[in-house]
Structure 1
């Protein structure tokens, strides 16, 4: 009877009006699960297996983990012992539909009561929390424009108010009127050290006296004071909780340069809605790599690039083609613009330069004389971290290009490593399902972050260094936010349907972006713990790298589909249908390379629905058969990207 009832509902949903089809179709999954479990619980093993095999395919993409867990069920004992079966039978599945769709559903079930309608109605009553809302009162989320966009594939599914709390993607903290039960976070910038502030102000005053700004432009001191006033103090972390070494002359030079760049950079401040200021991208492509490159990293001063390889070594390049010289080099050694770092015994999966910033070249250097610029500027990166399949992390000197320290604690391959924004501390993650926080001065980890159910594949720091983000692969697929002072998780974000491959926190400290191997990018609000929006455009193979503009208004991404894409990160609005349709139809597709800008991959037979581009994409830059391993916004809001040519 359950098979007949489900078939009845399925056929009716497929024939229903387009404006109701999407929301009524969301009812099929919970009805499928509970029909299947009812057959198994009532000891119909053959019918149970046939039912599961017949209808499982339509849910594979969105619920593949649950499908995998349920497929072994065929007897009542299995239903009692399977954790996913118990989860569904012990909790109500939440679903929201509009009043008109709800009325149409009830009328249909009552009209076909003896043909299976009563069975469906019984399942809804016992296992589904069906909330019906007025389309107008519910706002833009269920407007006709949003429904039409969903029909073209531009949808945020599953909905954030759908599913079993704590299990289905996006189901945490969904009640907009609920009291704030989440822990309050200190998201403001880290307060500047008092002595450092005085030294920076003195340097800025000296620079203003020597180089007064043109009329109409702020002095550097005014820019500095304005920046300090804009930083809220009520939710800022305490410097006493996270001790850092005393500031040096290098720190003063870096802060002075940040103030100069904050005044002079190309700013991206206005809301773009998918159309806005053009972003320039410089692409660095590696040739003849034979697919041996695992990771690429740029230094903060934009003078060095490093790659980690499957052959266990690291190669560092000078981007301005100047020789990289070590005081340990013999006098007979020929200077070279690249250096090879050898020490790991397994493939290198992650790299991270110590913090640095680009300083303007002196007159002497501009004329082409002087020593190696990348090693004489007061802000050049001094260290490089690397992690490997050999379970170790290594710290390298970029003055001597030698290995300084080997950090051992992970018991499996280490997938990623990141310096904190202020240096001194770093965090690593690995296949042992943990992330660890370290100090460069100690060989033992300071914090151990445990909670994920699978490999921790990506990590990132909050700009104030008070929090760390970790992202896990299948079957966990969650992002966790950790307080580094207490070592405990303060936020859990679930919503990805693919393995999370990259994560990046906005410079303003309020948003975090995460991406997966299905080509989707999700934006999360840290204060509320809510999903802001979901962006689509990359083809299959995944998004490998993310970075934010300095003003936190634009996000740039790169991945396996051989494109660099620029995104509007403002909260979604109901845009006009023509723009969305143009993007969804692949209106930005490029002609060259392995993928067009509209999201098409090298597979020309891929269906149009798999290459949908959401309207919040501002621009896309296709490469020529070069997957993009790294994208990075400079302090002047230009984008550096890098990849390997794979013909």
Structure 2
């Protein structure tokens, strides 16, 4: 169209609006006769869509109802389209809806925005399905945005302004959509929204009835750990994270110590060899003559030389191996907060644990020791093992924590050989302890008695954990408090208040004095053991935060919630940096972090185990094998080659790296590893089922690996029903 045609369009608009004076003034200024307006239609037939867009846009004259009407037309057009196209075309509705709403709010048209939201909110929520809690959250947040001032600072608005919504669509459906937007009257507002905020991923696949989908998008997105239609997750997972281990961690310190210790051995061996040769050619030859000197030299130098060569070669090989391992070490990160150095005695103890560690794999399975709690009357809720496996802490529904000394229990069992079963609850101590102080202010050594009861909580205890140096113990309870305990004294030190509802889980950091807690108030909190107020509040989950685990470098914590999502949080900023929303309608019941900090595993209430790669936020594999909830998970120490899981089905199962060989082991059929991402997109290994250990009649409440890779488990003995026993006897 030339300049004359544009002048005619403006004159037509002025004539339609009845601005006769403006029409005459413009006609005179442009030198355009008014009679030419009547002949506009037949000359602009090829630009009909563009003209109608412009005329419609100008005639709206800022009418806030125009975007609402345009969205109504888009919905009607999509609903009336053929079934084979409707599914793909429907994918644009949700992003167009939210950006149209925000555009109306930015123009201070709150009435039109509210009308649009009330009319289509239920449809948008129902299209996402019950598993997409993030869309429900966005719709709820949209309702709270009613003024331009709120948009300037709102988190969701900032995310939507910078992110382009990805929509997968066939090329044919994309052409149909563009044709309608080009020719349909009044569709300019929708065209602007789509061009600014939607990124199309086109495919040459021809639409068919087998690929019909609704506004929720493709169902295959659930497999990669990131809902592609969830812009919140997509933007969150683009955040850079530093998943390397800390500089100066105990594994690196051990390698450095071995490297330094081998260097003096090699130099000493060389000095001894040189001294032996010098002595052989010295004074003995001058005092006793040439013959005796030669014999003495042969007798003295030859044995020392052989021994020194062997020592020197051994030291050189060890030093070379340590140096190679040190050079191959991945990148390390600096601590974000002060990390107190380990005591020398503790460092040497950990060095000995690493020295004595057994490397486990699919072909070299660990030994397993299972602790059974009898006479617990179904009141056991949680257990935790100390790092050296000397103590076992257990929480109960009667608000008590019981600290067991494994060595004392073993010696007591030996002394009572005539008893066929040991009652680990020690009911005979109830009457003596009933008169004790509620807070046990008197110091009681945990080594003087096999069981010490800790009182302080006023509701069921749901989680216990030991600090990294075993000097402190932490617990979370239904009374909403987190408590600190001194195990060697058997008394409480502090009660941390802040959560409004029960505390479901607590976890001590691998380094330093921080701890994390997860609560039913939808938050996780970071605490310092020397303060009574939380240093960080992690808020973002839409339901109870059930589980919390620390990353090995202490920069991040992972949380799992009843909203069917797993999040990774930056401790320093309190921001969510990873969002894995692939659990769908499953609830997380257990979680573990890999020793290298690259993976997080999560067990669910329906028996599956999901493993995610934290770098890409993609799911590595899904493991099936348990019948019932998976109550506990643990990675093996060192390389983390094995995952141990304990479930309500009274089994402890081992899962091995799929790349490792399983020959020679009693491996189970590898039918439960379901890779959910294309090969080569992640360096994280998948896992296969290796072996299952069955308990007598105890659900595995907890499993963990010691520093030396001994697998520990614990659970309460449960009497089966009379019907079950009769069926078992008949068999």
**Alignment TM class, shorter chain as reference:** 0.5 to 0.7
Q: Distance in 1 between matches of 2:225 and 2:257?
A: 51
CA-CA distance at 1:323 after TM superposition: 5.1
Q: Distance in 1 between matches of 2:120 and 2:709?
A: 55
Is 1:188–1:232's contact at 8 Å kept on the other side of the alignment?
A: no
Q: Distance in 2 between matches of 1:457 and 1:257?
A: 32
Secondary structure at 1:255 match in 2:
helix
Q: Does 1:265 align with 2:355?
A: no
Is 1:94–1:161's contact at 8 Å kept on the other side of the alignment?
A: no
CA-CA distance at 1:247 after TM superposition: 1.8
1:95 counterpart residue number: 166
CA-CA distance at 1:494 after TM superposition: 0.8
- Candidates 692, 711, 714, aligned match of 1:639: 711
Is 1:524–1:533's contact at 8 Å kept on the other side of the alignment?
A: yes
1:343 counterpart residue number: 456
CA-CA distance at 1:457 after TM superposition: 3.9
More strand by share: 1
Q: Does 1:244 align with 2:343?
A: no
CA-CA distance at 1:2 after TM superposition: 6.1
Change (3 A) 1:64 1:434: closer
2:620 counterpart residue number: 533
1:438 counterpart residue number: 528
Change (3 A) 1:86 1:308: same
2:594 counterpart residue number: 506
Q: Distance in 2 between matches of 1:72 and 1:195?
A: 51
Is 2:538–2:569's contact at 8 Å kept on the other side of the alignment?
A: no
User: What is the total number of aligned residue pairs between the two structures?
Assistant: 523
CA-CA distance at 1:644 after TM superposition: 4.0
CA-CA distance at 1:523 after TM superposition: 1.6
Q: Does 1:31 align with 2:93?
A: yes
Is 1:191–1:238's contact at 8 Å kept on the other side of the alignment?
A: no
Give the structure-2-normalised TM-score.
0.54
Bigger-Rg structure (1/2): 2
Q: Distance in 1 between matches of 2:316 and 2:717?
A: 45
1:414 counterpart residue number: 503
Q: Distance in 2 between matches of 1:287 and 1:78?
A: 62
1:254 counterpart residue number: 350
2:274 counterpart residue number: none
Q: Distance in 2 between matches of 1:47 and 1:13?
A: 25
Q: Does 1:190 align with 2:303?
A: no
1:462 counterpart residue number: 551
Q: Distance in 1 between matches of 2:332 and 2:322?
A: 19
Is 1:171–1:494's contact at 8 Å kept on the other side of the alignment?
A: no
Is 2:484–2:493's contact at 8 Å kept on the other side of the alignment?
A: yes
Secondary structure at 2:644 match in 1:
strand
Ranges in structure 1 where 5+ consecutive residues have no aligned partner: 15-23, 137-152, 175-180, 269-275, 357-380, 572-581, 589-596, 599-613
Is 1:292–1:310's contact at 8 Å kept on the other side of the alignment?
A: yes
Secondary structure at 2:355 match in 1:
helix
2:326 counterpart residue number: 229
Is 2:394–2:403's contact at 8 Å kept on the other side of the alignment?
A: yes
Q: Distance in 2 between matches of 1:223 and 1:337?
A: 47
1:309 counterpart residue number: 396
CA-CA distance at 1:482 after TM superposition: 3.1
More helix by share: 2
CA-CA distance at 1:346 after TM superposition: 1.9
Is 1:323–1:336's contact at 8 Å kept on the other side of the alignment?
A: no
Q: Distance in 1 between matches of 2:150 and 2:706?
A: 54
- Candidates 236, 249, 253, aligned match of 1:172: 236
Is 1:205–1:221's contact at 8 Å kept on the other side of the alignment?
A: no
Give the structure-1-normalised TM-score.
0.60
Is 1:410–1:430's contact at 8 Å kept on the other side of the alignment?
A: no
Q: 1:563-612 deviations in whole A, cap 9, x for unaligned?
A: 655456679xxxxxxxxxx97xxx67xxxxxxxx99xxxxxxxxxxxxxx
- Candidates 201, 219, 225, aligned match of 1:132: 201
Change (3 A) 1:243 1:549: closer
Q: Distance in 1 between matches of 2:546 and 2:255?
A: 36
Q: How does 1:572-611 map to 2 (within 5 A)?
A: none
Q: Does 1:396 align with 2:485?
A: yes
Q: Distance in 2 between matches of 1:622 and 1:127?
A: 57
Is 2:223–2:619's contact at 8 Å kept on the other side of the alignment?
A: no
Secondary structure at 1:265 match in 2:
coil
2:13 counterpart residue number: none
Q: 1:157-199 deviations in whole A, cap 9, x for unaligned?
A: 467482354x1x355355xxxxxx7365653452569899769
Change (3 A) 1:128 1:285: farther
CA-CA distance at 1:469 after TM superposition: 0.5
Q: 1:527-583 deviations in whole A, cap 9, x for unaligned?
A: xx6435353537897654332222133333445566655456679xxxxxxxxxx97
Q: Distance in 2 between matches of 1:280 and 1:254?
A: 20
Secondary structure at 1:132 match in 2:
strand
Is 2:360–2:641's contact at 8 Å kept on the other side of the alignment?
A: no
Change (3 A) 1:387 1:223: farther
CA RMSD between the two structures: 6.0
- Candidates 155, 162, 173, aligned match of 2:228: 162
Q: Distance in 2 between matches of 1:238 and 1:113?
A: 54
Is 1:502–1:514's contact at 8 Å kept on the other side of the alignment?
A: yes
Is 1:283–1:641's contact at 8 Å kept on the other side of the alignment?
A: yes
